[in-house]
Amino acid sequence: MRMTACRLTAFLFGAMVLSLQGSCVRNPVTGGRQLALISEQQEIAIGRESHPEILGEFGRVEDEALQEYFNSLGQQIAGLSHRPDLPWTFTVLDSPVVNAFAVPGGNIYLTRGILSYMNNEAELAGVLGHEIGHVTARHSVTQISQQQLMGLGLGVGSIFSSRFRQFSGLAEMGLSILMLKYSRDHERQSDQLGIEYMSQLGYDPVQMSRFFVVFQSLREEQGSAIPNWLSSHPAPPDRIEATTAASEEIKRANPNRRYKINRDPFLSQVEGIIYGENPREGFVEKERFYHPDLRFQLDIPEGWQTQNTKRAVVFIEPQERAMVQLTLAPPTDEGTPESVGYAIARQEGIRFIGGTPMKINGNDAFVGRYRLLGQGDSVEVLAGFIAYGKHIYQLAGMTPSMAYGSFSRVFEGAIRGFRRLDDRRILSVQPDRIQIYRAREGETLRAIMKSRSQPRGDLEDIALLNRIDPDQRLGAGTPVKWIRPGR
C-alpha cells in the first residue's frame, strides 16, 4: 500500500506535528491536501508580528498619497483572490533594492526601488497579483513547515550567530521570512495566479511578462540587507515565454474584453519618489560614513564593505572574519553609556572582561570588552557606548576570540572615530528623485540626454529605467522617467 506524501510525513513526524498544532489541510488554490504546521490564525499572527520589524528595518515611504494608491489597488486585487477575507495590508518600503515580497497572513510589500522600474499600473497589478498568489497558495507556510520539520528554525540573529542578539539590530521572524526562496513550481503558480487576478480586474496580462524583462538586465546589489527580486524569486529559464503564452491565451479566450494599462495615473504617483540610496540616512565617501540627519560621522576600516539599513550600519571585513556594527543602544533606567555597558555585561551567555568610562571626541562614553559564550568557538566583542544628541549609540566590533588580536586595534579605531558632523556640504546633501519629462515629437533618449543639464546616470541607466531604445524616436508628449539630481 502506498501512502501519500502528506500522510507519510504526518506518520513519521506525528509527535512534532501535534506539538506544533499543525496538520494536512486543503490548499485554498488547488483544493489539494498540503502539509501545514501553521494554522491560518498563526499565519495571520506571523504577518502582524513581522510588520513592525520590517518597517523598523527598512522604513515606510512617507508619501500618504502613494501609500493609499498602492493599498487601494492591492485591496482590489486581493478581493478577487482565493482568500479575500485575510486582513490584507499593502506597504511601499523606503528601500532602493528592487524587490517585492509577501509575508504570511496577507502582508504585501514593494520597495520604492521596484516602483522606479515600472512604467504603468498594469505592471504594478501584475507584481501585486504575483505576491498575492504566494499568500493565497500558502507558499511561505509550506516552506516554514518544512524548516520546522528539519529543525532549522527561523531566527536570523546576526551575522555570526543568534547568540549575538544582544548586540544586533536585525529583526528575526520578519526578516527570516524574506530570506526564504521560492521553488520554481511556486514561482510558476504565482505567475499564473498573478495573471489571473490582474486580468479579472481588467488589466492587460501581457504587461506582467513585459515587466519581467527588466530583471534580466539587473544584477543583485552586493551587500544588500534585503534580497532583490532575482535572489528571492528564482526565475525559470522559460518564465517570460510561459507568462506571455498564458496572457495571450486569456486574451484569446476573451476577445471582446478591453484591457487597461493606465500609464499616466501610475507615473503621476511615481514622480518625485527617491531614486537609489537616500544620502540623508547615511552614505559613504572616501572611507568615511556620514549621517546628515543625525549629524555624525565615523571612519570605515580600509577595504571593509558597508551595509546601511534603518536600524544598523554594518562594516564587514573583506574575508568576513570580523564586523563592526553601529546601532542605537538598548535603553536603561539610568540612561548613561556606563549603565548600558554594565547591563549588557549581566546578560546570560556573556562574560564581561572589563571596561571603563571615558570621553570620545567630547562625548560621554563607555568602552567594554565582552566574550559571547556558546557551544562552539567563543566570540570577542569590543563595544563602545557613546552619548550623542538624544541617543546613546552602540559601536560593537565582533570577531571569533582566536582572531581578536588581529582586529582589536581596528575595533578601537572605529569606536574612537565617532564624532560630530559639521561639514555644511555634507549636511545639505539631498537624494536623487524620479522626474517625468515629456518628449517632443521625434526626440530620442540619446538626444534628450545631451540636452539635459546635470543628468544623473548614464544613457544605459535611463534606457533601462524606461525600457526604451536610446535611438527610438518618441511621439510628442511621451513620458520619460528622468533622474533629477539631489542638491
In the chain, where the domains are located: 5-270, 289-422, 433-484
The answer to whether 196 touches 128, Cβ cutoff 8 Å, is: no
Q: Work out the percent of the chain whose per-residue pLDDT is above 90.
A: 53
CA distance 471 to 447: 8
Nearest Cα neighbor of 28 from 164, 189, 185 is: 189
User: At the fourth CATH level, which superfamily is domain 289-422?
Assistant: Mog1/PsbP, alpha/beta/alpha sandwich (3.40.1000.10)
CA distance 136 to 89: 14
Strand duo 89-93 + 107-111: pairing: parallel
Q: Which amino acid is at 368?
A: G
346: burial class by Cβ within 10 Å (0-12, 13-18, 19+)? Answer: exposed
pLDDT value at position 45?
87
Q: Which residue did the predictor score with more confidence, 425 or 28?
A: 425
pLDDT value at position 355?
95
**pLDDT (tens digit, 9 = 90+) per residue, 461-484?**
899 899 999 999 999 999 999 998
Q: Phi/psi class of residue 172: alpha, beta or left (left: φ > 0; alpha: ψ in -120 to 50)? A: alpha
**pLDDT (tens digit, 9 = 90+) per residue, 273-329?**
999 999 999 999 988 999 999 999 999 999 999 988 888 899 999 988 999 999 998
Residue 267's alpha-carbon distances to 81, 117, 210, 403, 458, in angstroms, are 26, 11, 17, 52, 21
pLDDT at 6 over 50: no
**pLDDT (tens digit, 9 = 90+) per residue, 250-265?**
999 988 889 999 999 9
CA distance 206 to 285: 43
| Confidence label for 10 from pLDDT (cuts 50, 70 and 90) | very low
| Confidence label for 225 from pLDDT (cuts 50, 70 and 90) | very low
Nearest Cα neighbor of 278 from 93, 146, 90, 423 is: 93
In the block, cell 500618504 appears at 64
CA distance 201 to 407: 58
Instruction: Quote the distance between the C-alpha of residue 334 and its chain's center.
Output: 35
The answer to whether 439 touches 475, Cβ cutoff 8 Å, is: yes
Q: Which residue did the predictor score with more confidence, 386 or 99?
A: 386
Q: Which residue did the predictor score with more confidence, 3 or 241?
A: 241
**pLDDT (tens digit, 9 = 90+) per residue, 157-211?**
233 333 344 454 333 444 455 545 677 788 888 899 999 999 999 999 999 988 8
**pLDDT (tens digit, 9 = 90+) per residue, 328-379?**
988 888 989 999 999 999 988 889 999 999 999 999 999 999 998 875 678 8
| Confidence label for 28 from pLDDT (cuts 50, 70 and 90) | low
| Confidence label for 107 from pLDDT (cuts 50, 70 and 90) | very high
